[in-house]
Amino acid sequence: MASTVIKNWDNKTWLSSHDYIKKFNNFLLRQNKLNSNSRILDIGCGRGKIIGNLSSKLRLINKPIGIDLINHRDKDKRINFKKISAYTFFSLNKKKFDLILIKQTIHLLQFSKIKTLLTKMSNSLNPHGKILILTLNPQKNEFPSFDLMKIRLLKSLKRDKKILTFISKLYPKRILKKFVYKVQITKKKYNNMISKRFISTILGFNDKQIATGIKQIDSKFKKKLKFSDELVCIIIRNN
């Protein structure tokens, strides 16, 4: 998908918890009329736990396809995983999908590539199929942050806002929804996530910057962290 690769976003975080996956898939099902015959594609699927769970929930006849640049050893066995870029996938793909999901990945792409990818996705939808694009809400972000992380995060969210506007101009009939998950996590676990660089905005930080950031988190926040992880969801319909 991009030169920047996130390995730990769905590894032992709230994003990989059973509760998060259950609530997120309930959100997906409220936006889509899916059944056991549905075909699903997840772009930037990580370990594929979300669509793996969805496959079991719907008893899908066709394994959902998940594509990513990292082939994790602990990826979900319920998905048809392909280590491939989205552009290569669509150049080879002849299948049509009822749901194409791209969750917290679109911000890694250049604007010109976003437009190309959206066209390829739209051409790969079944009648009444939908594309769901999810990204952090640029208007409301509650992630506990240290100083340097906050600066980078605000810069990233500013770009996310431009991406949302860009997609909305390309698809003026798009629908906007929000998915909100209430996070409760110990500061120790959150700092461990930071040390593993779970979010793209801190990937480029060196060990010293990460260590300094963890010290700031320790001094600024209580032992148990409570905040909302809020995503904006753009829904693009085939017709």
* Strand order across the beta sheet in which 224-237 lies: 80-83, 65-68, 40-43, 97-103, 125-136, 224-237, 175-186
Question: Closest Cα to residue 77, out of 88, 89, 64?
Answer: 64
Domain-located, residue 212: no
Pair type for strands 224-237 and 175-186:
antiparallel
Q: How many helices (H) and strands (E) does the chain have?
A: 7, 7
Question: Whole-angstrom Cα distance, residue 203 to residue 210?
Answer: 10
Average pLDDT of every residue of the chain: 91
Domain that includes residue 112, residue range: 14-183+225-237
Helix axes 187-195, 207-220, angle to 10 degrees: 160
Identity of the amino acid at 98: D
Burial of 207: CB neighbours in 10 Å, binned 0-12, 13-18, 19+? exposed
Cβ-contact 166, 182 below 8 angstroms:
no
Which band of pLDDT confidence, cut at 50, 70 and 90, is reported for residue 72?
Answer: confident
Region 51-79 average pLDDT: 93
Which band of pLDDT confidence, cut at 50, 70 and 90, is reported for residue 8?
Answer: very low
Tokens representing 228 are 């909302």
Domain-located, residue 190: no
Of 52 and 16, more confident: 52
Question: Whole-angstrom Cα distance, residue 98 to residue 51?
Answer: 13
Domain total in the chain: 1
Question: Whole-angstrom Cα distance, residue 7 to residue 48?
Answer: 13
Domain-located, residue 162: yes
Domain-located, residue 191: no
Domain-located, residue 120: yes
Question: Whole-angstrom Cα distance, residue 177 to residue 107?
Answer: 18
What DSSP string describes 26-93? Answer: HHHHHH----TT--EEEET-TT-HHHHHHHHHHT-SSPPEEEES---TT--TTSEEEES-HHHHHHH-
Question: Closest Cα to residue 171, out of 132, 137, 140, 139?
Answer: 132
What DSSP string describes 21-35? Answer: HHHHHHHHHHH----
- Look at 12-16, 32-36, 55-59, 87-91 and tell me which has the smallest mean pLDDT: 12-16
Domain-located, residue 105: yes
Domain-located, residue 66: yes
Q: Dihedral of the CA atoms 72, 76, 102, 198 (nearest 10)? A: -50
| Each residue's pLDDT tens digit, 169-193 | 999 999 999 999 999 999 999 999 9
Question: In this predicted structure, what is the pLDDT of residue 109?
Answer: 87
Rounded to two decimals, the pTM is 0.90
Domain-located, residue 122: yes
CATH of the domain at 62: 3.40.50.150
Whether residue 23 is predicted with pLDDT greater than 90 in this model: the reply is yes
